[in-house]
Structures are given as C-alpha cells and as structure tokens.
Amino acid sequence: MNNEEISKSLNTQLSLDENSKILVVGLGETGFSVAKFLHQHALSFAVIDSRKKPPFNDALLQDFPDTPVFTGQFDKTPFDVATHLVVSPGISLQEELVQKAILSGTQLISDIDLFACSTNKPIIAITGSNGKSTVTTMLGLMGNAANTKTAIGGNLGKPALDLLNEDVKLYVVELSSFQLERISVLNASIATILNISADHMDRHDDIASYAAEKQKIFSGDGIMVLNDDDTLVKAMKRKERKSFSFSVINKKGFHLETQQDEEWLMSTDQPLMRKVDLSVEGLHNVANALAALALGTAAGLNTQAMCNALRSFKGLDHRMQKIANIKGVTWVNDSKATNMGACIAALKGYQDKVILIAGGDSKGADIQELIPVIKEKAKCVVLLGKDAEKIDKAINGSVPSYRAESIKEAVQIAATLATKGENVLLSPACASIDQYKNYQERGDKFIAAVKELAA
C-alpha cells in the first residue's frame, strides 16, 4: 500500500485524519515505533511517559524535536486534548487518566491497529500462554525457506510497525494478551491460540477474562488454527470459519503417529517428517512444530520447505537451551518460562527427575497448579526471588527445597545436589522483574554462573 492508500485506510477504519490529536502513552520500543509511523503519515501527536527519562526519550527528541513530550508523571492536560490514545502494552488500561479518557469518549487504538490498516499482505497472528515466540520463529524460517519473504515481530523482536515493507509477502506477528485487549480492527488472514494457562493474573481478573482477551485474535473471518488438546481453545471453534487443528494426543488434523516403529509428524494420513529429526526437545516443542505446520499449510507454504526449516531450527535462547554438561550433569536454561504453564511443560518433557531452579514474581498466578508436576518430576527445588516463600509453602515439604539469594547462589547449591546423569533446569515459572531487568538478563546470569562452575 502506498501512503495515500494507508491514509485512506486509517481514516476509514480508525477515524484518523489531519484534525486528529493522538496521544502516545509510553515511550518504550512500541511507543517510539508509533511515533515514527505517525510522523511519516503527517498525523499530529504528543508523547507522555510517567518515567523521568524513558528509554527512547533521546531518540525521539533527536528525530522529532517538535513533538510535545511530557515525562515524569501522567499530566491530565494532554489526555483532555487527545482524540485518540495509543497506550503501550506495558501500561495498564486501568491507569486512572487512561480510564477517564476512554470513558469520556477518547478513541483507544493500538500499534497493531495502525499496522493492520497499513498492509494488504497476509497477516498470521499468533498468541498463547506458551510457545508463541517459538512458533513465530519457526514460521518465519518456514516462509523464507519457501521463498516467501516473511517478516516476524510484534511481541517478539521488532514492533509490528517497524516490519512494514513493500517487499514483504507474509507477516507473522506474535501478540500478547496486553496487545490483544486494545485492538479493534485486526482481521488476520490466519490466527491461532496455541494454549491457555493462567498468566498475568495481576492484570487480568481471572482465567476467563484472560481467555476472552486472547480470543480477540480470532476477530474477523480468517482461517482459525486450534489446539485440539486445550479445552478452552477447542471451544472457540466457529463452524462458519475454515479451520485446522493440531494435537499430540488425538490422531486427527496435524498430529503425532507411530508408523513402522517410528514417530512421525502427520497431516491427517500424510507423514510429514520424523519426530527424531526435530532439533528441539520436549513434547511441547512437537506441539509447537505441528502448530507451525498447520499455520504454514493454511498460508500455502511448500511442505518440504517447511519440514526442512523445522529440521534446522535449534530453538530460542533462554527456552530449553542446553548450556553445558559438567561432570555428567546437564544444565538447561529455560529462563523464558515466566509462568506456571511454561514450567509445567518444561518439567513434563523429562522422563527422569530434575533439579529445578524456580522463583521470582508469580504475577498473582495460582502456584498450586505447579505442585503436582513438581512432585512427579523434581528431585528437589532451589527457590529464589520475591515469591520463593509462597512456592515453598505450596510445596509443603513434598520434595526437598533450598533457598538462594541470587541465580549464582542457586547454581552453586544445585551443583552440590546434582549427580552424574541428572539435569539441572532453570525454569522459574515466574517473571524476573523483582530481581532482573528481564528474563534474558536472568538467563544470561545463569549461563555465566554455569560457565564459572565449569571453569
């Protein structure tokens, strides 16, 4: 789409024109991508952030020096003037001035809405409590392997607006519940919810309201890809819509099946590739691969190219990442497991018991759902962070537990507990923000501590 077509689309779908006054709330990576887009399309905007010096403050002042910028606190005046609000995903819509503006009739839009209005190329939208970054990355590799120039981003990597490019033939966007709760015009060509388990319960009232936000990804009339093993997701199927399914339990759709003593990834009765040829471990990664194959098939990608891409995919950093084998003990970094469901999936992927390092900020989730799998799969648990005591109380002595003040100390404790042939797994089941900048920093600290141990 050219600029004229985009302007027309923005006006038709979001009532944006030269008279609009847009307030961008939050000047992180997403907020800055919105500022660049609005400037490019000659739309009037101001930026506000409660931090004294937000991450992209200097970049904004350098690139767009005439932009009104309010920092240090949320000032009422720009909210009163705005016709449209673009609220970054990291900021709750329950923020007092945001709520007042919306209730007074200010239109809430999002960077994903702006993105959806600005392209006529197919968009594959992916969400879920776990696995969405893995599936998004798999699909990006598949598209490019099939000679379909594919761009991936959204909640993973680049903000959606930074992906826009006339050369791109297929967009794959990962979307969080916070992004989905503020969309209004997304009609993805193909969409999936990979799974639903309790996450971000500090921002959502309950699992039902969390699932309802996720379900917004199916707005419109595109193809639905559904997890046949997840009751909440399966119930979202709509008879009037074309759909595909994937399962590691049932023998239909994209599934797992044993043929001549080997497990195969299948499409209905068609063998696609051997399970053993996947370079990533765990049954949850088989489900991710099946989901990616279903999405790629819906997009018309070549099957052989998709399977070749899966064979070459080595997994994401901080997601079931093997770090080292020291004296027969394998150390695995799953720092990206920031919720209970991700930790449960990681533990279930092991046949033998593991030494689990967990803890951090549980974000209001119900820790009890983690306990049965800890009892089944953990030899012992090393706990750290804000909710260590909460997790310890829930474990209630069912497996031995130890406390650490830092990742480094947790690694040192785990090293004294592990014997040859065992696995030490960092899979926190919690966010990292109580102790670290993000899950990447937490994972990097774990890697550094393990390497120090090896030395």
Report pLDDT digits (tens) over 146-163.
999 999 999 988 999 999
Residue 204 has pLDDT above 70, yes or no: no
pLDDT band at 397 (very low <50, low <70, confident <90, very high): very high
Mean pLDDT computed over 349-360: 93
Residue 200 has pLDDT above 60, yes or no: no
* Domain map (residue ranges) of the chain: 3-109, 114-312, 321-454
114-312 matches 3-109 in CATH topology: no
Phi and psi for 37 in degrees, rounded to 5? -65, -45
Residue type at 244 in one-letter notation: F
Parallel, antiparallel or unpaired: strands 254-259 and 262-267: antiparallel
Mean pLDDT computed over 255-272: 95
Percent of the chain at pLDDT exceeding 70: 98
Report the sign of the C-alpha dihedral through residues 306, 312, 316, 322, in that order.
positive
Roughly how many angstroms between the first and final C-alpha of the chain, as a whole number? 55
**pLDDT tens digit string along 18-66?**
999 999 999 999 999 999 999 999 999 999 999 999 999 999 999 999 9
Structure tokens at 59: 């970049």
Class of domain 114-312: alpha beta
Is-catalytic flag, 318? no
Residue 280 has pLDDT above 60, yes or no: yes
Question: Annotated catalytic residue: which of 144, 155, 227, 339?
Answer: 155
Question: Annotated catalytic residue: which of 36, 84, 200, 284?
Answer: 200
**pLDDT tens digit string along 286-330?**
999 999 999 999 999 999 999 999 999 988 888 888 889 999 999
Q: Which residues of 339-373 are buried (b: 16+ CB within 10 A; e: fewer)?
A: bbbbbbbbbebbeeebbbbbbbbbbebebebbbeb
**Residue 387 to residue 359: CA distance in whole angstroms:** 6
Q: Look up the CATH superfamily of 3-109.
A: NAD(P)-binding Rossmann-like Domain (3.40.50.720)
pLDDT band at 199 (very low <50, low <70, confident <90, very high): low
pLDDT band at 342 (very low <50, low <70, confident <90, very high): confident
Residue 201 has pLDDT above 50, yes or no: no
**Residue 150 to residue 271: CA distance in whole angstroms:** 26
Q: Taking the domain 321-454, which CATH number applies? A: 3.90.190.20
Is-catalytic flag, 39? no
Mean pLDDT computed over 385-397: 95
**Residue 351: its pLDDT value, please?**
81
How crowded is the C-beta side of 140, counted as CA atoms within 13 Å?
22
Name the percent of the chain in helix, strand, coil, to the closest 5. 40, 20, 40
Structure tokens at 422: 């065992």
Phi and psi for 210 in degrees, rounded to 5? -60, -45
Residue 203 has pLDDT above 70, yes or no: no
How many residues does the structure list for the chain? 455
**Residue 433: its pLDDT value, please?**
87
Task: Name the region of 157 (left: φ>0; alpha: ψ -120 to 50; beta: rest).
Answer: left
Nearest to 215 by CA among 199, 200, 237, 198: 237
Mean pLDDT computed over 270-284: 90
Is-catalytic flag, 144? no
pLDDT band at 208 (very low <50, low <70, confident <90, very high): confident
Residue 205 has pLDDT above 70, yes or no: no
Mean pLDDT computed over 373-395: 96
Question: Annotated catalytic residue: which of 132, 284, 336, 377?
Answer: 132
User: What is the pTM for the complete model shown?
Assistant: 0.84
**Residue 115 to residue 34: CA distance in whole angstroms:** 10
**Residue 342 to residue 346: CA distance in whole angstroms:** 6
Provide the strand spans (E) within 253-317.
Answer: 254-259, 262-267, 270-274
- DSSP characters over 375-390: HHHEEEEEE-STTHHH
Mean pLDDT computed over 331-343: 91
pLDDT band at 237 (very low <50, low <70, confident <90, very high): very high
Residue 15 has pLDDT above 50, yes or no: yes
